[in-house]
Amino acid sequence: MGKEKIIKGIPAAPGICIGKAYVKGKETLQIKPRRISKEEVSKEILRLEEALSLTREEILELKKKIAQEMGEDHAQIFDAHLLFLEDRAFIEDIINKVKKEKVNVEYALQESVKKYINIFSKIEDEYLRERTYDFQDVGKRILKNMLKQKKAKEELFEKSIIIAHDLSPSETASLKKDKILGFVTDIGGRTSHTAIIARSLGIPAVVGTQIATQEIKTGDELIIDGSKGEVIVNPTQKTLEEYKKERERRKRLIKKYSFTKKLIPTTLDGKEIKILANIEFPEEISQVLDVGAQGIGLYRTEYFYMNRVSLPSEEEQYRAYKEVARRLQPLPVTIRTLDLGGDKFLSPIRVPTEIQSFLGQRAIRFCLAHPEVFKTQLRAILRAALEGNLKVMYPMISGVEELIEANKILEEAKKELKKQNKRFKEDLKVGVMIEVPSAALISDILAKYADFFSIGTNDLIQYSLAVDRADEKVAYLYEPAHPAVLRLIKNVIDAAHSMNIEVSMCGEMASEPIFIFLLIGMGLDELSMPPSLIPKAKLLIRSISYKEAHEVFKKVSGFSSPKEVEDYCVKELRKILKEKYEELAI
């Protein structure tokens, strides 16, 4: 056994697993050019058409298999593969090479795939760049069919941790799921196919390590910590024992808090604070139900647009929203409309580079500039709302004009559905995300046009304090307890309540114990957070009183620094929770 080594990557699916590595080899097929006669050209083109047809059949079969095993959402990953097969520019490029250069079709295919991969790899958009590997997968499959090669079936004889440069959808489909302990890949991000599959299967995954296939050999002992994004290769006995204890500790905590599923988060003096979940992927719904969330306070929809090469249709989105609505019924589900830009980029539409700016054409600004994209999503939401308790909210509203304009497009979407004789929910509740200081300051005006507010503190804090939270040089200035931030939040809560509308919070601040305490004292109605944090939040709320929390808020509202606020909240929470503090407030 070699020396212990730690490989860092992107945390893609939480959990700890311990086991042997199985390294999937990288197949390389190098085809040499072969001269052909003019008479052979048509024969070569026919071989290409046959291979394309066979590949299409295989991919449709794989899509069907994944749909049966894991659901339609995952099967749609193969739509990108099918689009590549129908791309006339790609096919004509191969045919022209055969005709002009008089070379065998395998070589023409290989060179065309290389050319397209080179184009893809230079694209700045991370999500579109990741589709390079889908394209490689399709190219390899066409080539094998052209050469009439049978794909060797890989067998896992014991439970293993799969190590790969990348795992294409077709490779994942061929693996036996009961033999997989976890995934580690060289490339990929949180929205890569491997990450999505791992979360769906409930197994740990670390992606984007860059070096895993070079540093790990089949048979190596591994520990994956999918929450930290770490892979420990050939751990020492001491490390192994520590992680086994940590794995057991996490299992015990899950078991320990399972009783909270049916608990209502009500303070000791009878004030109910609703706790909802934030989700990004449909496969998270099971966890939402397992922890007893009172609904979904933030359903991010960017995933539909990012992990693909074409825009999602109305029908595709309708099916997805309908499934979420039905599974959560009668609990509320708040869908945030497309929020792209800043740190989230759109793949299928050509957009100006300012979408990459946190202050550029992003979120609602992008939607208003692309009304057809926006309207497609709104039509899908309106229709799905008949299947459950759906609500919609617009991100990054900075002024009342944007809200009025967005609502006009919503009305147009309703008119279009009426013309098409499609049923939809007429009185869909419409909310505003308060994440821009200007919106917080005019929240009394916005409240006249909205059915509810949701405060997005991640952006509200960084915009208010002029701090890019991803920039380590200024990250220390990112202070949720800053008096200016607290005043803005209180202003929003008061404005909402003056118009009898509820106000929720879905930023990270909503899941931090000392801020839960403070926010309850400010009068917040709902908290929305990652599902895993809900059990402790429920117990915390049931251990404090609204009156105590309100007194603490009144006291800190006169403080002048974030440190003063935090120190006082910690002191008071310790006093209230006593021996429970270490368990519930950390």
Residue 259: Cβ within 10 Å count = 11
Taking Cα atoms as reference points, which of 28, 29, 27, 78 lies closest to residue 57? 78
Compute and round to an integer the Cα radius of gyration of the chain. Answer: 26
Please pick, among 17, 367, 506, 569, the residue that the annotation labels catalytic.
506
Q: How far apart are CA 245 and CA 240, in angstroms?
A: 9
Alpha-helical (H) ranges within 258-335 are 285-290, 303-306, 314-328
Asked if 395 contacts 406 with a C-beta cutoff of 8 angstroms, the reply is no
Alpha carbon distance 467, 464 (integer Å):
8
81 labelled catalytic = no
Q: Is 165 an annotated catalytic residue?
A: no
In degrees to the nearest 10, what's the CA dihedral of 193, 195, 200, 204? 150
Nearest of 27, 46, 42, 137 to residue 83 by alpha carbon: 137
Q: Which of 17, 74, 81, 193 is catalytic?
A: 193
Question: How many CB atoms within 10 Å of residue 121?
Answer: 9
For residues 275 and 541, the answer to whether their CB atoms sit within 8 Å is yes
Distances (CA, A) of 245 to 20, 241, 252: 19, 6, 10
Q: Among 388, 431, 424, which Cα is nearest to 407's?
A: 431
- Give the Cα separation of 297 and 526 in Å (integer): 8
Torsion angles phi and psi, residue 280, rounded to 5: -125, -30
Q: Are the C-beta atoms of residues 515 and 529 closer than 8 Å to each other?
A: no
List, as own/partner pairs, every contact residues 248-253 make where C-beta atoms lie below 8 angstroms and the sequence separation is at least 24, other chains included: 250/15, 250/16
What does the CA dihedral 177, 183, 189, 191 come to, rounded to 10 degrees?
Answer: 20
Positions annotated as catalytic residues are 193, 506
